């Protein structure tokens, strides 16, 4: 059987990434994170696209170098078509098209959110793969969805956020606490040392399998404003407990909906994906659900949680096997539903 080498490119937000896969194994995965956005408290799209343009060639070069293969060995180029920031997507899309044209090999477009889910099919001794059908909760800075995955390219969205994404809830809460962007990982770090039940925050009342996080952000803001009136050092004095309480509330919201989805579908295989699946609270909660509810859970390795090209590559591999290629007139798609 043929050995397939895929070069994958991801540039949907603020990370420039390139990976090389040999069939369903990752042989290199290089990520250049853009630091420039920290001082602005969020991703500045115009700066992101400029940084991608600077990074893309060296990142691809590094990925090929670390994989120790020559461009001429590549079978196809896979790239993120969307969803994401238009200026960022254009850089990866244009680069991928040009390279595929130059090498005269097939081009494969990839949906970023499908990639977060299919990252579970990267072969790795320590991580078993889910079988179809399974439930996937995609939790990132841009998305919060519960998806029923019937097959590689047959997915149904069962529920999603009506306002902010869960990553935004983490990042905006962190901003209220004066933590730098992106604050999600810092909330996680501080939460480990705090009491999660110290400050109870209300859970939103949202029907079905949908989510809402904008109310939580507002209630955290009012709570902090009220407390700092009487104690100007309230945040510093209670940072770990505040972080633990915020994280506890968010994880409960996510787990409540997952439990509901399992109950409604009867599917007990549950996977998570996206940047927030790096969170220690959700990882522990899922592990506990194995013991407590008999679920089989699938948690990506850390490097495949946040944005990376390896996950784009695994989608590329499965499309390649199914002969699903993309023509050169493809354009980036900022809004792209799975
Ligand atoms: O998937 P991702 O890298 O980019 C998007 O597609 O959005 O996700 C980034 C999001 C950010 O909101 C970041 O704060 C959050 O994932 N995140 C975390 C953690 N690590 C990353 N949130 C909570 N705890 C973490 N450990
Ligand atoms: Zn992502």
Ligand 1 pocket at CB < 6 A = 13, 140-142, 167, 170-171, 182, 184-185, 188, 274-276, 278-279, 306-307
Enter the pTM of the model: 0.94
Cα angle for residues 312, 316, 321 (degrees, 5° grid) = 155
Do both 96 and 146 map to the same domain?
Answer: no
Residue 332 lies in a domain: no
The two structure tokens encoding residue 193: 């040392």
Q: Which atom of ligand 1 is nearest to the CA of 12?
A: 6
How many structural domains comprise the chain? 2
Do both 103 and 175 map to the same domain?
Answer: no
Range of the domain at 29: 5-119+305-321
* 213 CA distance to ligand 2 middle (Å): 18
Do both 184 and 285 map to the same domain?
Answer: yes
Phi, psi angles (nearest 5°) of residue 99: -65, -40
What whole-number distance in Å separates Cα of residue 44 and Cα of residue 269?
A: 37
Do both 149 and 87 map to the same domain?
Answer: no
Residue 329 lies in a domain: no
Do both 249 and 111 map to the same domain?
Answer: no
Do both 79 and 186 map to the same domain?
Answer: no
Do both 178 and 73 map to the same domain?
Answer: no
The two structure tokens encoding residue 320: 């390649």
Residue 99 lies in a domain: yes
Do both 196 and 235 map to the same domain?
Answer: yes
The two structure tokens encoding residue 106: 């097939």
What whole-number distance in Å separates Cα of residue 301 and Cα of residue 94?
A: 29
Do both 191 and 250 map to the same domain?
Answer: yes
Do both 133 and 252 map to the same domain?
Answer: yes
- Residue 10 in 3-state DSSP? strand
Q: Which atom of ligand 1 is nearest to the CA of 182?
A: 14
Q: Which atom of ligand 1 is nearest to the CA of 165?
A: 12
Q: What is the pLDDT along the chain (338 residues), one digit of tens a residue?
A: 789 999 999 999 989 999 999 999 999 999 998 888 888 888 889 999 999 999 999 999 999 999 999 999 999 999 999 999 999 999 999 999 999 999 999 999 999 999 999 999 999 888 899 999 999 999 999 889 999 999 999 999 999 999 999 999 999 999 999 999 899 999 999 999 999 999 999 999 999 999 999 999 999 999 999 999 999 999 999 999 999 999 999 999 999 999 999 999 999 999 999 999 999 999 999 999 999 999 999 999 999 999 999 999 999 999 999 999 999 999 999 999 88
Give the CATH number for residue 252.
Answer: 3.30.420.40
């Amino acid at each position: 059987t043929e050995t397939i080498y895929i070069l994958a490119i991801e540039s949907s937000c603020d990370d420039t990434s390139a990976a090389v896969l040999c069939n369903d194994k990752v042989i290199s995965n290089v990520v250049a994170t853009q630091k420039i956005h920290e001082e602005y408290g969020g991703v500045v799209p115009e700066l992101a696209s400029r940084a991608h343009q600077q990074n893309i060639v060296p990142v691809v070069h590094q990925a090929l170098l670390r994989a120790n293969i020559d461009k001429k060995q590549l079978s196809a180029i896979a790239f993120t078509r969307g969803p994401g920031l238009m200026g960022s997507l254009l850089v990866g899309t244009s680069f991928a098209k040009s390279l595929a044209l130059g090498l005269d090999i097939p081009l494969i477009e990839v949906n970023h959110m499908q990639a977060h889910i299919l990252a579970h099919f990267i072969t790795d001794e320590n991580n078993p793969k889910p079988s179809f059908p399974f439930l996937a909760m995609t939790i990132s800075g841009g998305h919060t969805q519960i998806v029923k995955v019937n097959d590689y390219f047959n997915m149904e969205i069962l529920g999603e956020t009506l306002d902010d994404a869960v990553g935004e809830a983490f990042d905006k809460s962190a901003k209220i606490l004066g933590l730098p962007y992106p604050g999600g990982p810092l909330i996680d770090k501080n939460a480990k040392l705090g009491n999660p039940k110290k400050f109870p925050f209300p859970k939103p009342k949202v029907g079905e399998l949908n989510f809402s996080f904008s109310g939580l952000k507002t209630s955290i803001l009012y709570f902090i404003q009220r407390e700092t009136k009487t104690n100007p050092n309230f945040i510093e004095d209670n940072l770990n407990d505040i972080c633990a309480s915020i994280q506890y509330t968010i994880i409960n919201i996510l787990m409540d909906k997952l439990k509901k989805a399992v109950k409604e579908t009867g599917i007990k295989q549950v996977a998570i994906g996206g940047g927030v699946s790096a969170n220690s609270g959700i990882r522990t909660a899922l592990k506990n659900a194995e013991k407590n509810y008999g679920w089989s859970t699938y948690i990506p390795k850390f490097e495949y949680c946040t944005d990376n090209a390896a996950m784009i590559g695994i989608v590329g591999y499965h499309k390649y096997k199914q002969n699903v290629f993309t023509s050169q007139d493809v354009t980036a798609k900022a809004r792209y539903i799975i």
